């Protein structure tokens, strides 16, 4: 079962370990930006830069999956609670 935050984290239910909604927005921005930069780098035939940007885009995509799983766990633990961008 996925928990909303790691067991030994310093955060509590009242004060989250990580601002998941903010992380979600930043990861989405990183995914879009790095994908665009990778495409532009490959078109400019700068392959090494395209590969680096593509790897960062993959990292952002994996982070999006992890964030969504933690948000779902938080919704199960705290049904009906609304969270702002910074919670």
Q: Percent of the chain at pLDDT above 90?
A: 46
* Confidence check: pLDDT of 45 > 60: yes
Sign of the C-alpha dihedral computed for residues 15, 28, 63 and 68 taken in this order: positive
For 7, other C-beta atoms within 10 Å of its C-beta total: 5
40: Cα separation from own chain's centroid: 23
Structure confidence at residue 4 as a pLDDT band (50, 70, 90): low
User: What are phi and psi for residue 78, nearest 5 degrees?
Assistant: -130, 70
For 9, other C-beta atoms within 10 Å of its C-beta total: 12
Domain extent listing, the chain: 31-76
Q: Are 15 and 4 in contact (CB under 8 A)?
A: no
pTM for the model:
0.72
């Amino acid at each position: 079962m996925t928990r909303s935050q790691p067991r030994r984290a310093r955060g509590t239910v009242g004060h989250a370990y990580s601002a998941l909604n903010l992380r979600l927005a930043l990861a989405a921005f990183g995914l879009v930006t790095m994908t665009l930069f990778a495409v532009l780098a490959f078109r400019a035939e700068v392959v090494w830069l395209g590969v680096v940007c593509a790897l960062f885009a993959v990292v952002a995509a994996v982070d999006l999956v992890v964030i969504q799983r933690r948000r779902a766990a938080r919704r199960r633990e705290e049904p009906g609670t609304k969270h702002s961008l910074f919670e």
